[in-house]
Homo-oligomer: A and B are copies of this chain.
Amino acid sequence: MTMHKVLFLPHNQEITVRDGETLVRAAMEAGVHINASCGGEGVCGKCRVIIEHGNVEEGVTEKLSKDDLEKGYRLACKSVIRGDVTVRVPVESEVDASVLNMQRTARRTAKIVQPDFEELKEQGLFIPPVEKKYLELPEPNAQDNLPDTTRLVSFLKLNHDERRLVVSLPVIRRLPDILRKDNFKVTATLGRPVHKGRKSHIINIEPGDTTDRNFAIAVDIGTTTIYGQLTNLKTGEVLAESADFNAQISYGEDVITRIMYAEKPEGLEKMHEVVTGTINKIIKKIIRKARVERDEVSYVTIAGNTTMTQLFLKVNPRYIRRSPYVPAATIYPPLSAVSLGLELGDHAGVLLYPQISSYVGGDIVAGVMGSGMYRNEELTLFMDIGTNAEIVVGNKDWLACAACSAGPAFEGGGIEFGMRAAKGAIEDFSINPLTLEPMNITIGSVRPRGICGSGLIIMVATMFEMGILDSQGKFDRDSDTPRIRKSEEGIWEYVVAWQEDTQIDRDIVLTEVDIENLIRAKGAIYSGCQTLLDEVGMDIGMVERIILAGGFGSYVDLEKAMTIGLLPETDPDRITFIGNSSLMGARMSALSNHIRLEVTEVTKKMTNFELSETRSFMDHYVAALFLPHTDMKKFPRLKERLEQRMK
């Protein structure tokens, strides 16, 4: 990858960026503010900069006169970096430059840390729950006319030291013809028990030697997106991956609306059918990609939250949304893929990741497994922030978990101009402390349509650190800028982008109501963590490691999340992102019976707390309804920065 140096003047800030990056994004990354309202589409014309050395591609629009161009002016948002370049950002004075320069710390997201599969192998824990064995059976004759099934079972007992074998009816049905297809040379597929010494099931029989062709599929049923991954059970290798929107979305955005739909007549059947349809689509795609036949897939592991799991299994989730929030089950017996409507061979089994409670599902258990937190001494905080938030705290000795009624603020829900992290969403933001003019960076570098969760956190954190917002989330009423105003409804707001700079033909604003919602959301999560730790006699300050999961975790600016009090203040190096923990957990279970056994143990160990029923929760929650918190002692670094600013 070709890299280029960009020097910003007068800040004298240098940064190395990838070839093809835009100047405005480079500036954002360097912590250099450039007014930029239209998200990078080149419409507002505010991001004028002067190229002093080197050259950029494009950056020339009708917003710049011939004269401007000759002077070296370019629009930063449209300038593509193709070589080292020195760029001057026009400022009123040198003072301005230094003030601007101290405003931003570079965006910092969590490092991805995933479990090492090779390690599993080295530890001898690569024991797939489904194994193929090639067998050359003696052919029957007049003196030896054992039943076909007995011949198979006896041979496995005698020559492969197998014990307690059960042969399924479909295998018995196929066995006679398949044995005689290739002179009693066959490959038997054995389903292994999780607990040693229990029954093994002969689930499939094929003519000849097919031991090289044994595959598993891991599926993560997300409320929004479903992921599938095809794994080679012989090597452990991932062969193909695919994702698609959960087709249930057409029936409701979140779990609650889905549950409500499932309560209608035929609603449950519909929900099941629709999610199965999406999974089948994904299966079709990944097996085609990897040139695997349907019948070569022996095993499917599925993780999802409790509602998604129940809907997939056609188990009515009616009582999940009603106090006292009781799921039908948290552990499911092994099932057959065909019986669940999956388009796979009749031998393929399905394992559902166990749940903990109505709102702490298999995706979270999977995350705990993938993070390895259940094996470590360190006090770890695991957070999955999505449509809602689930948290787990603990270590190898104990685990406590809870769902936080945070609401969907971090996915843009309940925010006036909130939106999912899609094209046109403002995902990064800075503000000119002197003029209070914004710098908006959107996904796809187009005119903004709204604000996504990670952008929202950056906005609020930035304004708070700058003093435009107070700790109660109220705007500075005395600011001398048209961007802070009172709406016709009497609500104070900050205009992030003027109508003409947006795609939606309206001013995009951030209101105090939005901020209140954000504070409530982050407060629920933070106080949830505190309550869990309280229950075991610990304090949030003792957390040694934070693991983020869920899509949101990969984008969140860690420093900003600490600034608003979403994450406890800690060394960002101690915060890692685990990726799609649900999918990963599903894959691990498909590869290792040892992990399956550990899953069972971890599930038993995880204590669920209903926060609303926990004595101290309300106190913690009320205390967390500030930026970052009433108790500033918990945020010493931020406190220092704020005091610095006051001087």
Tell me whether A315 and B173 are in contact in the complex, defined as CB-CB below 8 angstroms, given that A145-B324, A146-B326, A330-B149 are known contacts. Answer: yes
Contact B333 A167 (CB under 8 A): yes
Which residues on the B side are within 8 Å of A169 (C-beta)? Answer: 313, 315, 332-333, 335
Tell me whether A328 and B145 are in contact in the complex, defined as CB-CB below 8 angstroms, given that A316-B177, A333-B166 are known contacts. Answer: no
* A491 nearest CB across to chain B (Å): 36
Contact B177 A147 (CB under 8 A): no
- Looking across the interface, which residue of chain B has its beta carbon closest to that of A145? B324
Which residues on the B side are within 8 Å of A644 (C-beta)? Answer: none
A175 on the interface (CB 8 Å rule)? yes
Q: Is the interface of A mostly helix, strand, loop or mixed?
A: loop
Contact B328 A175 (CB under 8 A): yes
* CA distance in complex: A315, B358 (Å): 43
A642 on the interface (CB 8 Å rule)? no
Contact A328 B613 (CB under 8 A): no
* CA distance in complex: A525, B144 (Å): 23
A140 on the interface (CB 8 Å rule)? yes
Cβ proximity bits A159-181 to B, threshold 8 Å, 1 near / 0 not: 00000001111001101110010
Contact B330 A150 (CB under 8 A): yes
Contact A149 B329 (CB under 8 A): yes
How many chain A residues touch B (Cβ–Cβ < 8 Å)? 45
* CA distance in complex: A355, B172 (Å): 14
Contact B173 A326 (CB under 8 A): no
* A170 nearest CB across to chain B (Å): 10
* CA distance in complex: A326, B318 (Å): 52
Which residues of A in the span 305-358 have a Cβ within 8 Å of any Cβ on B? 313-316, 318-319, 323-333, 335, 355, 357-358
A610 on the interface (CB 8 Å rule)? yes
* CA distance in complex: A144, B610 (Å): 10
Tell me whether A176 and B318 are in contact in the complex, defined as CB-CB below 8 angstroms, given that A167-B333, A328-B148, A332-B169 are known contacts. Answer: yes
A residues in contact (CB < 8 Å) with B: 140-150, 166-169, 172-173, 175-177, 180, 313-316, 318-319, 323-333, 335, 355, 357-358, 610, 612-613
- 6 extra A-B contacts, CB within 8 A, seeds A177-B316, A177-B318: A147-B357, A149-B331, A172-B328, A173-B313, A173-B314, A176-B326
